[in-house]
Amino acid sequence: MRTFFYGAPPGLGLTLDIHMNDKKIQALLSDLHLANHDIHALVTALRHAVHQAAAGAGEEVKYGGLLFSVATPFCGIFAYAAHVSLEFSRGCDLDDPHGVLEGNGKLRRHIKLLSVDDIGRKHVREHVRQAFEKAGGGT
């Protein structure tokens, strides 16, 4: 099923071959669109980037955001009033040559995104790909 990302910024051409059967995912995205168009556009673009970098990963609504997993959860997208956070379950294990990972907890790290442009600027796909592979994906 080809899904067009409703409310995505014009010109991004965000389409993705994924199934949107999960009504909880649809409801979360719809709620975000109603609450804040800019945050919705960022979540939508970020979700697209995660699916590109981690083809075949599972997706579910959990902890108030979108959680992605293979054998184990590896990242999640969480929307806030003024930013979106891409959280890595084992971010401590990721290489971060660009210094974009934030947090100093035992395991978790995150990338704070303020705009769609931050997805490229902060090397999101590179970090997602690493986390996906370390979680058992892409093999």
Q: How confident is the model over 59-100, as pLDDT tens digits?
A: 999 999 999 999 899 999 999 999 999 999 999 999 999 999
Q: Any idea what the CATH number is for the domain that residue 83 is in?
A: 3.90.1150
Residue 38 lies in a domain: yes
What tokens were used for 126?
């590179």
pLDDT of 22: 82
Distances (CA, A) of 12 to 16, 45, 78, 121, 127: 12, 8, 21, 16, 21
Count of structural domains, the chain: 1
Residue 24 lies in a domain: yes
pLDDT of 103: 96
Identify the domain containing residue 21 by its residue range. Answer: 2-134
Residue 139 lies in a domain: no
Residue 104 lies in a domain: yes
Phi then psi dihedrals of residue 46, to 5 deg? -65, -40
Residue 105 lies in a domain: yes
pTM of the model: 0.84
Distances (CA, A) of 39 to 17, 90, 113: 22, 25, 10
Residue 46 lies in a domain: yes
